[in-house]
Structure 1
Amino acid sequence: MSTIRLGLAGTGRIGSSHAETLTTLPGVDAVIVADADTERARATAGKLDIEYATDIDALLAADLTGLVISTATDSHPELITAAVDRGIPVFCEKPIAADILGTLAVVERVAGSTVPVQIGFQRRFDAGYRAARAAVASGELGWVHTLRATTLDPAPPPAEYIPRSGGVFRDCGVHDFDIIRWVTGREVTEVYATGANRGEQMFADAGDVDTAAVILRMDDGALATVSLSRYNGAGYDVRLEVLGSQGNAIVGLDDRAPLHSVEPGYPPSALPVYPGFMDRFHGAYVEELTTFVGVATGQAANPCPPGEALQAFYIAEACELSRREGRPVRIAEVRS
């Protein structure tokens, strides 16, 4: 078997976590990291006893089996295309680009290539979401009439991140939009979204909101609601309820969910709540990167190509338009 050498661009919070995960994967012989901040890359490499490259060009020239991209969004298009042009399979954290035009440009650029590009939507690799998808596909829930999704962060991200985030729908809600499509196998046709700012001024200054509510109409008539907030002080709360004519499936309802019943006889769990997404989805991230190794070596099919990420981004874009204009928006409007 040939040597498996994986590169990682971006050694911030999630990048450093990915680097650590990559070093534990069976069959991976070497991990090389790089960052615009060379000292940060050096520190990560030293902590994990792995190699680092002085810049991205040096990383791409390091005879890589695959490249994991966890840099800032504005660098994703250039890094994806640079790797694909060199024949290096890519795993890139969402989003592909900061807007639809940039996303379409990348999708079209890589469409004719045989080099795989896997986009990071880790919820597809979570055991609970996979079980919900299987329940829908089997028909055991009957016909699905309602979905309720939540992504509620315990505290806001750093202030400097907000203007670069793309807004709550593109940055946060896009995970819910993707997983609703994936679990149901259906497409969203129309959205209505609204938002509010009751927290720090930084969200309003960036033209964003800190809390949002969305109604999605699916192509089979089912309705989905998505609740988003940056201020869920009880803890990190990510759930999906799939309600059907014969049954239901609920993801994220476990003893670490930050839900506190006030009904008599229901004491709170003794387990700590999830503090954030990296803890809640640790297993999913491991499975996702394990799958990417298979994709990069030709042993697995690509579970989330760029076209899939584009569909979720269309929904996020429609939500932002709906919020700003105060009206329902059909997905077809943002595709044109």
Structure 2
Amino acid sequence: MRIGILGLGRIGAFHAETLSGLDAVRSLVVADPNPQAAKAAAERFGAQVADSPEALLAAGIDGVVIAAATDAHPALIRAGVRAGVPVFCEKPVAGTMAEGVAVLKDVEQGGVPVQIGYNRRFDAGFVAARDAVRGGELGALHTVRSTTLDPAPPPAAYVAASGGIFRDCSVHDFDIIRWVTGREVTEVYAVGGNRGADYIREAGDADTTGAVLTLDDGTIAVVSNSRHNGRGHDVRMELHGFADSIAVGLEDRLPLRSVEPGARFPAGTPHDFFMDRFAAAYRAELTAFTEVVAGTRPSPCTVADALEAGWIAEACTLSLREHRPVRVAEVRTG
């Protein structure tokens, strides 16, 4: 099949490399506002260059991957749907939840499959955890812990446009908690602080946060996030039930050092970047998209799925600002 890629920044170039190695992908068409980025990708992957999104969508592609800036996502998703081309779009759907709701309505009316990029759904550990929960191996859950700790904060310009740590970072934890447990979040209580980069505080954001989520069956989920984790990129999940407990991310490249006498775990080189931690998951995610394009599977992460994680992020943002518990229903609109 022939796949188009809109946006060739860090993640777009990474997706181009991944797609070029998939058996199902015959050729690529690329477009980027920066002509040099498009030219470099074309030379590296033997891709055709289109000079605009419109030209790319008219180039006989079977599916399109959107890795452009967030503010371009709504228009590009809509353009793909209007063209009848299956769409993969990196999260978020849009810069605001109101715009995301509007995109959802258009996608539902258009009848073209759209997959949103939440790559943890394709990580082998998280898949195994979901299977264990859904298979009843843990019994009834009572506690979930989910962690995303970055080794260093993103640049100031990124932070200023990100919408805040809950919408940008924690939202991955919110999505995977929903996906693994099969439950919805009803209420949140969030806290945050700033012990690092001044520009994060100046942007009105926090660099370290914690959130307690109450799920609809009474399970408690604790989410921990930080922009400053000197040992590496740490993504983990614990699930504790009445019958058993399991963990995702407890492997030799875990960026955590034990001080127990004689302990040799973890023994490997710590993960230091999200592309390193989730390289296999990204490949599985884009392989799934080729199956969506081929019509052999439905979207594994719909626009509606992505908006559910977004509402949790909105509730946490309000909770942090007003120092109180917030029910998700309070922020939900549309």
TM-score by length of 1: 0.97
Instruction: Tell me by how many angstroms 1:270 deviates.
Output: 4.0
Unaligned 5+ runs, structure 2:
none
Separation in 2, partners of 1:207, 1:60: 38
Spell out structure 1 runs of 4+ moving beyond 4 A: none
Question: Paired residue for 2:273?
Answer: 276
Separation in 2, partners of 1:160, 1:238: 24
Separation in 1, partners of 2:194, 2:31: 37
Instruction: Tell me by how many angstroms 1:296 deviates.
Output: 1.0
Instruction: Tell me by how many angstroms 1:278 deviates.
Output: 0.5
Separation in 1, partners of 2:127, 2:265: 27
Question: Paired residue for 1:259?
Answer: 256
Q: Does 1:318 align with 2:334?
A: no
SS in 1 for 2:85: coil
Deviations 1:209-254 (A, max 9, x none): 1110000000000100000000001100000000001101100110
Question: Paired residue for 1:42?
Answer: 39
TM-score by length of 2: 0.98
Question: Paired residue for 1:248?
Answer: 245
Q: Does 1:296 align with 2:311?
A: no
3, 11, 15: which one pairs with 1:14? Answer: 11
State which drifts further: 176-185 or 54-63. 54-63
State which drifts further: 53-62 or 70-79. 53-62
SS in 2 for 1:146: strand
Paired amino acid for 2:38: A
Q: Does 1:56 align with 2:36?
A: no
Separation in 1, partners of 2:290, 2:264: 43
**Aligned length, in residue pairs:** 333
87, 90, 95: which one pairs with 1:93? Answer: 90
Deviations 1:98-141 (A, max 9, x none): 11101101001111222100001000001100110011111110
Task: Decide whether the 8 Å contact of 1:38 with 1:55 is kept in 2.
Answer: no
Deviations 1:19-52 (A, max 9, x none): 0111111121111111111111111221222222
Instruction: Tell me by how many angstroms 1:58 deviates.
Output: 1.5
Question: Paired residue for 2:235?
Answer: 238
Paired amino acid for 1:70: A
Separation in 2, partners of 1:202, 1:107: 34
Instruction: Tell me by how many angstroms 1:55 deviates.
Output: 2.1
Question: Paired residue for 2:179?
Answer: 182
SS in 2 for 1:199: coil
Separation in 2, partners of 1:41, 1:325: 44
* Aligned-residue CA RMSD (Å): 0.9
SS in 2 for 1:295: helix
Task: Decide whether the 8 Å contact of 1:96 with 1:119 is kept in 2.
Answer: yes
User: Where do residues 87-166 of structure 1 align in structure 2 (5 Å cutoff)?
Assistant: 87-166=84-163
Paired amino acid for 1:63: G
Instruction: Tell me by how many angstroms 1:259 deviates.
Output: 1.1
SS in 1 for 2:110: coil
Instruction: Tell me by how many angstroms 1:268 deviates.
Output: 5.0
Instruction: Tell me by how many angstroms 1:267 deviates.
Output: 2.6
Question: Paired residue for 1:219?
Answer: 216
73, 79, 84: which one pairs with 1:82? Answer: 79
Task: Decide whether the 8 Å contact of 2:253 with 2:271 is kept in 1.
Answer: yes
Unaligned 5+ runs, structure 1:
none
Instruction: Tell me by how many angstroms 1:56 deviates.
Output: 1.7
Question: Paired residue for 1:65?
Answer: 62
Paired amino acid for 2:319: S
Task: Decide whether the 8 Å contact of 1:195 with 1:212 is kept in 2.
Answer: yes
Separation in 1, partners of 2:191, 2:266: 33
